[in-house]
Structure 1
Amino acid sequence: MTSHRRRPLLRSRSSAAPPLDDDDLLSEILLRLPPLPSSLPRASAVCKRWRCLAYNPAFSRRFRLHHRRNPPLLGYFRAGIPKLCFQPTMAAPNRVPPGRLSLKFNSYVRVLGRRHGLVLILEWPQLLVCDPVTGHQHRLAYPPEFDPDNSLINGAVLRSAAGAGDVHFQVVLVGSDYEKKLLACVYSSETGVWGTLISTPIPSGNSLCTRVCWEHAVLVGDSLYWILAGRFTVMRAEGGGLGLLSVSGFTAQIWKRKTDFDGVTSWGMGATVELDKRLSMDSEDYLDIEGYAEDNNLVFLWTGRSLFTVKLEPLQCNKLFDTNNRACYYPFEAVYATGT
């Protein structure tokens, strides 16, 4: 009897490891999930391997960085003593627990700006950069040229360039010494120092420049814009570029800055919205702009009786709650996973 050796079977292409067994490929798939608070927790429920990957610190940083330009509006901060209370606006399962992102302080603080998941806070006599999601805080001393006792001060915060990951940030501080001159200075967490001070005199009799110290900045492209006066707010126009939202009576108008072939700029009006028909307003109501979420192109509007959010393009209106009291509302946009 002759014995026949069985030749080893060659593994065919069809029997290769399933794509989801490749950690690198799986991470690329998970990376492209919507940046909603429930996305990664839901994916982590599939199995232990997916859970380990979804909650890996390195992957979490990649996920936040990948979605930096399109974070959801998690809610808003409301000023109080002795803390900034966070109020969520998303519905379950994406609703963030109110106490999870609230910030506590020992005294009254003023919010100067929010961007890229960071909050810039004036806690006299210093500045504080907070990341409510991670809990990290960074304290800064004023540049020596800024005198908190004799200057009107405002500022903005933003993450550094994408190549630097989500670790480093910049603080842009602006101010005016009571109608004499305007000041500006930039801090980089990468170098740990303030840059060169920029100073320009305020034209005689021009009091509008001091308003820059009360309005929040809007980042459009590579520039920060502050409103000096008027019942309107800077916004990002549809398709990019600089826009304005103005409110007159119950009517909102959206304007966009245009540049012709000769480099001459002008303003052109886009949409006009009759908000009283959409917000169920009475004749005694009025409209005030209370905040702007730049990544979601959404404004907070107070009617004197209720607080609404209005997404500008496409137009969507949502009532948050009834209130007769005016307050400071600071929209907060960030990438956050529930359960972290």
Structure 2
Amino acid sequence: MEILLRLDSPTWLVRAAAVCRRWLRRASDPAFLGRFRALCPPRILGLHVQSGSCAPRFLAVPQPLDLAAASRRALQVLTPSVGTHRFRSAYLWDCRNGRLLVKIYDWPDGVYIVRSLLNQVPDVTLPAPPEPNEFFKGCRSKRMLLLEDDGDVTSCLSLTLSIDAPEVLAEFSILQSGVWGILQRAEIELEMVSGEGLPLQIMHSQKLVVGKKLYMLTYKFILALDLSTNSFFIVNLPDGPGNNTLSHAEQSGLYLINVREFELRIWYVAMCLVSYVM
């Protein structure tokens, strides 16, 4: 087993497992795979960049030879001539676990597709999401986010935020097995100082879905929406307002990353207790 743990990539592990049945049994053991993943975490192939109205671009990260093919595939999926649809006029909504959620504007009303970064499979066109309630004053924004891939690559969240300070209204629906669920609603009244930019912050905030919860990062706190109970709650920042960003954790939960001058601080936000671990 120690020999297999010294391999530095999953590609070499697959090749080693083909050597003999004994190594195959070792490489298939869940306990071994847990140790191997801890020593060889998933690699970042690159970054997808969306700048204004320009087509999304993929910036590849240098890779060893055994991952070069996967990196080339990720680079090709955003070129205009590859795939079922062209990206001449498109917006990249989300990227998660090797899947891209893209809105194509070349069609009369626009269409959402899910595209695989690593597998040579056709694009999956999503049905149009349900329309939100039109009778609401204030500012409004729409967002589409991919959910965790539990065997359904098209599973995603359609969210419409409407804000008429101090009230925040969320209308959302979840796509599962190709069918949109009933439009759900959640409301919260926030404490806001007259003239502050919190409503605009919420509209354009970074948004992450972890499990059945949606997290929206503002400069004052994290506004969270529980998709299973249709309710909002607030997660206070551990060190007050600052230059923060959110990132998915490998298993569950998320990371809060703070930059202050030359200091980088990372907190793990545990979902079960909504608490921080630095």
> TM-score by structure 1 length?
0.47
Report the counterpart of residue 169 of structure 2 in structure 1: 182
- The within-5 A match list for 1:248-327 is 248-257=260-269, 267=276, 270=278
- Decide which structure has the larger Cα Rg and report it: 1
One-letter code of the match for 2:88?
S
Equivalent position to 2:69, from 86, 90, 96: 96
8 Å contact 2:55–2:87 — kept in the other structure?
yes
Equivalent position to 2:117, from 110, 113, 132: 132
Cα gap change, 1:106/1:89 in structure 2, threshold over 3 Å: closer, same or farther? same
Pairwise CA distance, 1:133: 1.9
Cα gap change, 1:44/1:256 in structure 2, threshold over 3 Å: closer, same or farther? closer
8 Å contact 1:160–1:170 — kept in the other structure?
yes
Pairwise CA distance, 1:114: 1.7
- Percent identity of equivalent pairs: 18
Pairwise CA distance, 1:244: 1.7
8 Å contact 2:92–2:100 — kept in the other structure?
yes
1:117 is the counterpart of 2:120:
no
Report the counterpart of residue 3 of structure 1 in structure 2: none
Aligned length: 208
One-letter code of the match for 2:122?
H
Pairwise CA distance, 1:111: 2.3
CA distance in 2, matches of 1:213, 1:123: 22
CA distance in 1, matches of 2:199, 2:69: 38
CA distance in 2, matches of 1:182, 1:35: 46
8 Å contact 1:118–1:132 — kept in the other structure?
yes
CA distance in 1, matches of 2:116, 2:73: 12
8 Å contact 1:151–1:178 — kept in the other structure?
yes
One-letter code of the match for 1:173?
S
8 Å contact 2:217–2:246 — kept in the other structure?
yes
1:75 is the counterpart of 2:60:
no
CA distance in 2, matches of 1:188, 1:259: 23
- Higher RCO (C-alpha 8 Å, min separation 6): 1
CA distance in 2, matches of 1:35, 1:78: 26
Report the counterpart of residue 193 of structure 1 in structure 2: 180
CA distance in 1, matches of 2:271, 2:13: 40
Pairwise CA distance, 1:112: 2.4
Pairwise CA distance, 1:198: 1.8
Structure 1, gaps ≥5 residues long: 1-32, 48-66, 271-340
Pairwise CA distance, 1:176: 2.3
Task: Give RMSD over aligned pairs.
Answer: 4.2
CA distance in 2, matches of 1:253, 1:216: 18
Pairwise CA distance, 1:39: 5.2
One-letter code of the match for 1:79?
Q
1:90 match: secondary structure:
coil
CA distance in 1, matches of 2:212, 2:18: 40
Equivalent position to 1:171, from 147, 156, 172: 156
8 Å contact 1:74–1:90 — kept in the other structure?
yes
Cα gap change, 1:146/1:132 in structure 2, threshold over 3 Å: closer, same or farther? farther
Cα gap change, 1:170/1:133 in structure 2, threshold over 3 Å: closer, same or farther? same
